[in-house]
Structure 1
Amino acid sequence: MYFPTFASPLLAASRCLALTGLLAGAAACGKDEKPKAIVASEVENPVKESELTTVTITADAEKRLGIKTVAIKTDNVQATREVGGEIQAVPGQAVTILAPVQGTLRGGASITAGQRVREGQTLYSLVPLPAERDLLTLSQGTAQARTQLQVTQARLSRAEALLADRAGSVRARDDARADVALAQQNLADARARQAAANGSAGVGQALPIKAPLSGVVQRVTVTDGSLVTANTVLVELAALNKVWVRVPLFVGDLRRLGKDQAVTVRPLDGGTPRQGKPVEAPLLGATAGTGTADVFYEIDNADEAFRPGERVAVDVNLTSAASGTGTSASTPALTIPAAALLYDATGGQWVYVRTKPLQYTRQRVEVQRAVGDQIVISRGVKAGAEVVTDGAAELFGTEFGGAH
C-alpha cells in the first residue's frame, strides 16, 4: 500500500538553504583574500648603517698605517662668540680729493682703483676755465678758509693737550688732524682760485692735483679729459697700513668683554688670521632692531691683505665677571684633536673609535666649533672613548677601497 509523504518538499528546501549557505561562505572567503601589493623596489637583507662602519685590520696593517689614538676628554673651553665684522679705513686716514675749480682734467689716464700712490704724487692736472673776476668774493673766501684753518689748528692743539693729560681720546686727536688737513686743502684751493682770477696763474695754466697721503686708490670717479665743476669728487684714497674692524656685538655681551682683550680676525677665504687690538675709547653705536652695539679693533695691515668694506669673521673671548674685568669664562665640553675629524663627500663629520683591539668603528659626530687645534663635539661620542688621530684618513680609505 502506498503512503504519500510530506517530507519531500521540506527536504528539498533544506537542501536549497544548505547550498545557498555554502555559496555565501565561498563568496565571503573570496572577499577576505586581498590582492598582493606591488612595490616599486624591494631591499633584501637590509643592513643598518652601524654594521657597515666597523673596520677590522691586522696587527701588521695597524703598524704600517701608523695608527694612534687618544682618549676623548672633557675640557673647560674658553667661552667665545663668533661674529661677523667689516673692515674700515682708520678715521683721518681716508681722504676724498675734490676739484678746486671748474676746469678740464689732464694726465689722469693711469689712475685706477687699487693703485698705490705716494704722498705728493701728482694725480691730475686741472686746466681752469676762465673765471669770473669777482676779486672781493674770492678774497672773502680765502679769508674764511684761513680763519677755518686757524680754528681747526687750535682744536688740534687742545685735543693733543687733553690726550697728553689722559683726558682725551686718540680718535678725537685723529679727527682734529683730519679737519686741519681738510682746512689746509680748502685754503690752498681758495688761494689757487684767487690767483687764477687775478691772472697770476695764467689762463689755461694747469693746476696740479696731488695726493695728500700715501695709500691706495679706493675709487675713481672721473677720466682723463673730463670737464668737472668745483667740488667734484675726483679720487678717494685710504692709508691701509692699519685698518679698523667694526664688530656688531650683542649688547648682553658688552659687559663680558675683557679689558684690553684682543680678538682674532679671520678672512672668509681661509687666509691667515690676525690679532685685533681694541681701539682706545671707541665710539659705540647701537642698532635697536638687532640688539647690537658696534665695537672697533685695529689690526696691522702692512701687506694690505684687508681692504675697506671686506667682511671677516671675528672670534671674541668673553669673561665670567659682569664688569668685563674678571677671569676668562669657560664651560665643560667634549674635545678631540682636529686630526681625528674626517669629512665625507656630502660634508658629514666622522671619527674612528677603537672598540676592540684591531677593530675601529666609524661614528658620526656633530661639531660645535674649533678652539685652537681642538674640536668641540656637541654629540656623537662619549668621554673616554679612544678616537684615531694618526691614520684616520688611511682607515677611511681602507673602508671605502681607496687604500690597500
Structure 2
Amino acid sequence: MFAPTVFVVSSRIALLGLLGCAACGKGEKPKAISPSEVKNPVKESELTTVVITPEAEKRLGIRTAVITSDNVRATREVGGEIQAVPGQAVTIVAPVQGTLRGGASLTAGQRVRQGQTLYSLVPLPPERDLLTLNQGTAQARTQLQVAQARLSRAEDLLADRAGSVRARDDARADVALAQRALADARARQGAMSGSTGGGQALPIKAPLSGVVQRVTVAPGSLVTTNTVLLELAALNKVWVRVPLFVGDLRRLSAGQTVTVRPLNGGGARQARPVEAPTIGGTAGTATADVFYEIDNTDEAFRPGERVVVDVALGTANATPGSAGATAATTRALTIPAAALLYDASGGQWVYVRTKPLQYTRQRVEVQRTVGDQVVISRGVPAGAEVVTDGAAELFGTEFGGSH
C-alpha cells in the first residue's frame, strides 16, 4: 500500500537534486572592475557660487541686468575678405629701361608718404644702339693711337731739328681731342651696361601715401621698360568683399551697414556699402559679391585679411537693395555683451544673482552678437539677473585672481 507514496517522494527528491546541480553548474559572473573611480563627485553648479559681503559688492561695483526675450533683427554671419580700394592700390613700374639707384631700405610692410623718392633710375640707350656704341669706342681708341703716334713722330723730328714746333703742338691737340672722344665713348658704353653712374637720373616717387605691399627688384638692377618695381596700397580706407547667397540680396536695404569683426575677436566696426557690381562670387556656390567700405585710418585691417561680417537682413523685396526693405525680426533671449565671460578653454559663462550677495556662474551658448547685445540659445532663463559691471572681478575672485 505504501509503495506509490515512497515513489512520489523519491521522484520529488530526485527532481530537486537535478535542479540544484543545474544551478551549481552555472556559477555567478564576477563583477566588472572599473579602471578608475571618482569618490564624492561634485556637481558643476556647486563649484560656481560666489558669496560676497555688502562691502565687497560695493567695492566691485556690481550691476545686474534682467534677461529678456526681445525682437532681434535677423542677421547672417558670413566670411569676408579685406581688399584695397580700387584706384588706391598702384603698381609702380619703370618708365624706361635703365639702372636702379637707391631703394635699399624698401621692404614689404614699410609705410611711405606721397612724393617720397623710392628709386632713382639712370636711363639706358636702346638695345639697338649697343653695337653702334661698341664700334664708336673702338674707333675712338684707334684714333687716339694714331694721334699718339703722330705726336711721337713730331717730337722726334723736332728733336732732330727736322720738324717744327707748330707740328708738334698740332699733334698734341689731336691727342687731347682723341682722348676726350674715347672717354665720352667709354662713358656711353658704361651707361649702357649700367656699370657707371653717369647720365641724368630720373626720380621715381610714391604717387600716394600707403604701405609697400611687395618689392620685386633690388637696387642696382638693370630693368627694362614697364618692369614692376613695387606695389603700393593706401590703407586709410579699405573694402571688404562679402560673398552673399543670391537669395539674400533681396533682403538687403539700400544704405544698410554691416558689422565687420576680425577673426581674433578684436574690436568690431561698421562698414557702409559702396557702389560696386554685385556680380562674381565663386562658381557653383550661388553667391554674389557685395562690397563695403571701412574707415581704416589706424590700419587695423590689411588687404587679404579674412574677417567675419554680420549682415542684417530684412524681408524679401522685389528689387535687391531697395530702400523699402522691412526689417525681419525673431524672438530671442539677449544679454548685454559685458556680461559674457570666457574661460581658458573658450567656454562662455555668465554670473547670475541667485540670492542677495550670492552669484552663480552658469554656462551659456551664444548664437550671435547684435550691436552691444548677445543672443543666447540656452543656458539661463528669461527673467534671470546677470552681472554686467563687475563680472570680470567676480571671475577673478572665484579663481583667486583678485582679493
Correspondences of 1:4-403 after superposition (within 5 Å): 25=20, 28-29=23-24, 31-55=26-50, 66-113=61-108, 114-119=110-115, 121=117, 123-129=119-125, 131-132=127-128, 205-211=199-205, 213-215=207-209, 216-282=211-277, 284-322=279-317, 323=319, 324-325=322-323, 326-397=325-396, 399-400=398-399
1:104–1:129 CA contact under 8 A, matched in 2? no
Q: Which runs of 5+ in 2 are unaligned?
A: 131-187, 193-197
Question: Take 1:241 and 1:56, find their aligned partners in 2: how far apart are those partners?
Answer: 50
Change in Cα spacing, 1:47 to 1:238, as seen in structure 2 (3 Å) is: closer
Q: Secondary structure at the match of 1:306?
A: coil
Which residue in the other structure is 1:180 paired with? none
Amino acid of the structure 2 residue aligned with 1:351 = V
Which one is further off, 27-36 or 330-339? Answer: 27-36
Q: Following TM superposition, by how much is the alpha carbon of 1:221 offset from its aligned partner in structure 2, in angstroms? A: 0.7
- Structure 1: runs of 5 or more not aligned: 1-6, 135-198
The CA RMSD over aligned residues, in Å, is 3.6
Aligned residues: 327
Distance 1:27 1:357, change over 3 A: same
Counterpart-to-counterpart distance in 2, 1:108 and 1:65: 56
Q: Deviation string for 1:295-322 (max 9, x for gaps)?
A: 1122333343333222233232222352
**Cα deviation code 1:31-90 (max 9, x no counterpart):** 332333322222344444344444555666655655443221011122222322222222
Tell me, in whole angstroms, the C-alpha distance in 1 between the residues paired with 2:284 and 2:335. 38
* CA contact 2:118–2:206 (8 Å) conserved in 1: no
Q: State the identity %.
A: 71
User: Match of 1:350, as an amino acid?
Assistant: W
CA distance in 2, matches of 1:277, 1:301: 13
Look up the SS of the partner of 2:288 in the other structure: strand
Give yes or no for contact 1:57–1:359 (8 Å, CA) kept in 2: yes
* Post-superposition CA distance 1:76-120 (Å, at most 9, x none): 122222322222222223222223444332223233222304237
How much has 1:350 moved relative to structure 2? 2.1
SS of 1:205's partner is: coil
What TM-score comes out, normalization by structure 2 length? 0.68
Instruction: Return the offset for 1:269.
Output: 4.3
Answer with 1 or 2: which has the greater Rg. 2
Tell me by how many angstroms 1:293 deviates.
0.8
Distance change >3 Å, CA 390–CA 30, structure 1 → 2? farther
Query: Partner letter of residue 104 of structure 2?
Result: A
> Structure 2 vs 1, CA of residues 295 and 54 (structure 1 numbering), >3 Å: closer, same or farther?
same
Cα distance change of structure 1 residues 392 and 88 upon mapping to structure 2, 3 Å threshold: closer
Shift, 1:383, TM fit: 1.1
Contact 1:128 1:206 in 2 (8 A): no
